[in-house]
Amino acid sequence: MDLVKDIVPVLDDFERALKVETADQNYAKGIELIHQRLYDNLKKLGLEPLETTGKKFDPNLHQAVERVQTEEVEDQMVLGEFQRGYNFRGKLLRPAMVKVAVKP
């Protein structure tokens, strides 16, 4: 579990790299393939991403980094994700860092 916990930030770095626009499509494809291979191998070991957006805020699974006052969605709903959270073999490895709706 400690090894996977140390590797998850590398997975985060690949996900950020995939969001960057680049003119070199071969480079982008290479980053995508490396990310997918790393993710698939971690998944085989038992890594599971947490579903967050559109879910009810759960302090056991989520870390509220930002609270947004809104009438558009139900109170305490997750509006977005800053950093993905993961379970590993059924146990929380890292909580998701999220943006949460609050009623004004």
| Per-residue model confidence as pLDDT tens digits over 37-82 | 999 999 999 999 999 989 999 999 999 999 999 999 999 999 999 9
pLDDT value of residue 104:
85
Task: Please give the residue range of the domain that contains residue 26.
Answer: 2-102
CA gap 33, 70 in Å, rounded? 39
The per-residue pLDDT for range 6-23, each reduced to its tens digit, is: 999 999 999 999 999 989
Give yes or no for residue 85 having a pLDDT over 90.
yes
User: What CATH number is associated with residue 55?
Assistant: 2.30.22.10
For the residues 72-96, what does the mean pLDDT come to? 96
CA gap 22, 76 in Å, rounded? 37
Domain count for the chain: 1
